């Protein structure tokens, strides 16, 4: 009969989608070389400096060893990287002593001595987690105060304490975060015994321009900020040693160092090669000159005599100007990432359908579990997406990459589908169920011929909601190295490049709208004829 045909068609459609998604996944799996050659997983947080240093280490290892390097850049934040390192998902990334002190060791004491911070952190990480801090790169990326070079020269200011006599006339413009944090201006004012003063709060990105135009005199900054080079800013010496040290060093799994003893000495060749000024030059080259990470890294290694060959040969052509031109230039990449994006979302939503629809049905037969189960799926939805992704990494079989992202997206997709399946079946007129039973329909016949067709529209609406949510959340998948359009967004955030952010965000939004529309149509087509339109929309 006609309705049976429709049901079959729905299942055929699901099967084809599943096949497509699985095919896509097996395709990407084949793309990574066989695991036979020894590999090193180098990771980086989603900001310029971490990625640059990771790239420098990657090229160094590739140049001097037989090891293959997997680059896992743009991962989301300290928590994600640290748990990935502990579980062996990644082998190596760049960490900062100040972060390790407060975030990982959770030491409430304020640390001021860079050496003590480094030695303590190194000792603790080795004994607690068999994680090794190699020798630092030589710079500390900490908070700092900066002044326009000319103005500082004119007033003869070199150290923060030199500001004191001029405070009544100087205009201070600080980022909101710096104004609030105890290790920002409030603590600083105490440490330097500054008289009461109210600095202006402003967006950090705008502060440099205001400084260059002479609207403000002092800004908060980072010692390695690439913008220091673009705007000719003098970094004032922290002579009271107020700002905690943030020395950067490679953080490596002990197992890797033991299985490849040549790696320790090799990476130590990077020790103390970078001071804050040189690091900010490198950041500047990527952020403001538009050079690619690998080019800047290669240039640095060459200067250090650690790389042979001509890095400039691979120099990127200048980036296109407008947003559309940029998107056109990157159309291949955008298409590929959009494909990854849909693959992640599609697989997660399909799995969610296969799990959540039967669960919703089961709940209509076991009402007393409904509150608990629907409540639990609701609680999952309140977990911040990034945190949920981070939870997945230590789970065996998940780790960094697609699996974690799919499982997290799957969990997010459950609620709307379970809830709508349950509600859709419960909304069916009890008289109709009574009539069906009285006519001698068996349980499964009742479900297949009466309840499911009448609940189709509500169930489909749940699937549609899940899909749109998943397309949005999947932009975060790049934080755990699962790719997708989030890759462009994160890189754009890192480079402070709005066009790049939009080149990922716009296609993601378009995909969400497109699927909302397509699934709306499908909903309409699958909903059985004979029902009043929109009665349960």
Partner 1 sequence: MDAPSPMIELCEVRKVFADARGEPVVAVDEISLEVARGESLCLIGTSGCGKTTTMKMINRLVEPTSGSVRVDGREVRDRDPIELRRSIGYVIQRGGLFPHMTVADNIGLQCRLEGWEPARQEQRVAELLRLVNLPETVAPRYPRELSGGQRQRVGVARSLALDPPIIIMDEPFGALDPITRRQLHAEFGELRERMGTTIVLVTHDLHEAFTLGDRVALMDRGRVVQLGTPSQLRDEPANDFVERFVRAHLGGDHA
Residue ranges that bind partner 1, judged by CB under 8 A: 1, 3, 431-432, 434-442, 445, 449-450, 453-454, 528-532
Coil, strand, or helix at residue 247?
A: strand
Residue closer to partner 1, measured from CB, 337 or 423:
423
Q: Which is nearer to partner 1, 256 or 460 (CB)?
A: 460
**Distance of alpha carbon 97 from alpha carbon 111, whole angstroms:** 10
Do β-strands 143-148 and 92-96 pair in parallel, antiparallel, or remain unpaired?
Answer: unpaired
Nearer to partner 1, 317 or 532 (CB): 532
Provide the 3-class DSSP secondary structure of residue 484. Answer: coil
Nearest CB to partner 1, comparing residues 6 and 86: 6
Long-range Cβ contact pairs of 117-124 (< 8 A, separation 24 or more): 117/244, 117/245, 117/247, 118/245, 118/247, 118/249, 121/97
- Tokens describing residue 261: 């003893």
- Closest approach of Cβ 436 to partner 1, in Å? 8
Please report how close the Cβ of residue 360 comes to partner 1 at its closest, in angstroms: 19
CB of 529 to partner 1, least distance (A): 7
Residue 454 or 485 with smaller CB distance to partner 1? 454
Minimal distance in Å, beta carbon 292 to partner 1?
Answer: 59
Distance CA 426, CA 452 (A): 11
Please identify, using beta-carbon distances, which residue of 352 and 461 lies nearer to partner 1. 461
Q: How far is the CB of 470 from partner 1 (least distance, A)?
A: 29
What's the min distance (Å) between Cβ of 527 and partner 1?
Answer: 9
Q: Which two tokens stand for residue 4?
A: 């049976």
Query: How distant, in Å, are the alpha carbons of 337, 419, 511 from that of 443?
Result: 45, 21, 39
Using the minimum distance from each CB to partner 1, give the nearer residue, 32 or 445.
Answer: 445
Beta strands in 30-134 (DSSP E): 39-45, 68-75, 92-96, 131-133
| Smallest separation, CB 14 to partner 1 (Å) | 21
Residue 163 or 527 having the CB closest to partner 1: 527
Asked if residue 160 lies in contact with residue 238, where contact means CB atoms within 8 angstroms, the answer is yes
CB of 419 to partner 1, least distance (A): 22
Q: Which helix (H) or strand (E) holds 254?
A: helix 254-259
**Minimum distance between the CB of residue 433 and partner 1, rounded to whole angstroms?**
9
Residue number, 280 or 458, with CB nearest to partner 1? 458
Compute the distance between CA of residue 34 and CA of residue 461 in angstroms, rounded to an integer: 42
Task: Centre a 10 Å sphere on the Cβ of residue 189 and count the other Cβ atoms it contains.
Answer: 16
For partner 1, the closer CB: 109 or 532:
532
How far apart are alpha carbons 386 and 3 in whole angstroms?
Answer: 43
∠ CA(237), CA(239), CA(242), 5° rounding?
100
Q: Which two tokens stand for residue 393?
A: 């990494």
Strand, coil or helix: 182: coil
Closest approach of partner 1 to the CB of residue 526, in Å? 11
Tokens of 277: 């000024």
Specify the DSSP element, H or E, that contains 233: strand 233-235
Least Å distance, CB 430 to partner 1, is 10
Nearer to partner 1, 325 or 531 (CB): 531
Exposure string for 117-155, b = 16+ CB within 10 A, e = fewer: bbebbbebbeeeeebbbbbbbbbbbbbbbbbbeebbeeb
Placement of tokens 């934040």 in the chain: 77
Do you know the residue count of the chain? 537
Structure token digits, residue 36:
């036979």
């Amino acid at each position: 009969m006609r309705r049976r045909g429709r049901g079959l068609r729905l299942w055929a459609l699901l099967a084809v989608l599943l096949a497509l998604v699985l095919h896509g996944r097996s395709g990407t799996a084949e793309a990574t070389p066989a695991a036979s050659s020894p590999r090193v997983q180098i990771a980086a947080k989603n900001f310029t400096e971490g990625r640059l240093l990771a790239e420098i280490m990657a090229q160094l290892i590739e140049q001097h060893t037989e090891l293959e390097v997997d680059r896992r850049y743009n991962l989301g934040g300290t928590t994600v990287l640290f748990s990935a390192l502990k579980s062996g998902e990644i082998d190596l990334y760049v960490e900062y002593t100040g972060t390790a002190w407060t975030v990982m060791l959770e030491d409430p004491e304020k640390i001021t001595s860079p050496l003590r911070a480094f030695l303590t952190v190194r000792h603790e990480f080795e004994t607690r987690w068999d994680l090794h801090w190699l020798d630092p790169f030589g710079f500390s990326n900490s908070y700092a105060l900066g002044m326009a070079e000319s103005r500082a020269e004119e007033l003869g200011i070199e150290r923060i304490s030199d500001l004191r006599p001029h405070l009544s006339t100087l205009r201070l413009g600080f980022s909101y975060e710096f104004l609030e944090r105890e290790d920002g201006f409030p603590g600083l004012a105490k440490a330097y015994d500054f008289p009461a003063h109210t600095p202006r709060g402003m967006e950090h990105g705008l502060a440099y321009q205001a400084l260059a135009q002479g609207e403000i005199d002092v800004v908060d900054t980072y010692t390695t900020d690439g913008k220091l080079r673009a705007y000719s800013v003098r970094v004032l010496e922290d002579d009271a040693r107020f700002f905690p040290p943030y020395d950067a060093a490679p953080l490596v799994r002990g197992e890797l160092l033991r299985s490849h003893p040549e790696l320790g000495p090799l990476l130590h060749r990077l020790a103390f090669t970078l001071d804050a000024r040189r690091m900010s030059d490198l950041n500047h080259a990527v952020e403001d000159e538009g050079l690619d990470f690998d080019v800047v890294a290669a240039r640095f290694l060459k200067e250090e005599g650690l790389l042979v060959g001509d890095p400039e040969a691979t120099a990127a052509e200048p980036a296109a100007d407008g947003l559309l031109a940029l998107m056109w230039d990157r159309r291949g990449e955008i298409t590929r990432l959009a494909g990854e994006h849909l693959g992640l979302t599609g697989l997660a939503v399909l799995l969610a359908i296969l799990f959540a629809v039967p669960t919703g049905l089961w709940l209509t037969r076991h009402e007393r579990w409904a509150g608990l189960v629907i409540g639990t799926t609701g609680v999952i939805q309140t977990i911040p997406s990034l945190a949920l992704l981070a939870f997945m990494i230590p789970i065996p079989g998940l780790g960094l990459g697609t699996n974690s992202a799919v499982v997290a997206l799957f969990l997010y997709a459950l609620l709307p589908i379970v809830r709508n399946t349950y509600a859709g079946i419960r909304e069916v007129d009890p008289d109709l169920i009574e009539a069906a039973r009285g006519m001698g329909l068996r349980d499964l016949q009742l479900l297949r011929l009466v309840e499911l067709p009448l609940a189709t529209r509500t169930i489909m609406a749940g699937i549609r909601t899940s899909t749109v949510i998943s397309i949005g959340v999947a932009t975060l998948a790049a934080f755990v190295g699962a790719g997708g359009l989030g890759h462009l967004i994160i890189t754009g955030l890192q480079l402070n490049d709005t066009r790049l952010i939009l080149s990922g965000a716009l296609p993601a939004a378009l995909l969400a709208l497109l699927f909302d529309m397509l699934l709306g149509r499908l909903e309409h087509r699958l909903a059985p004829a004979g029902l009043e339109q929109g009665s349960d929309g």
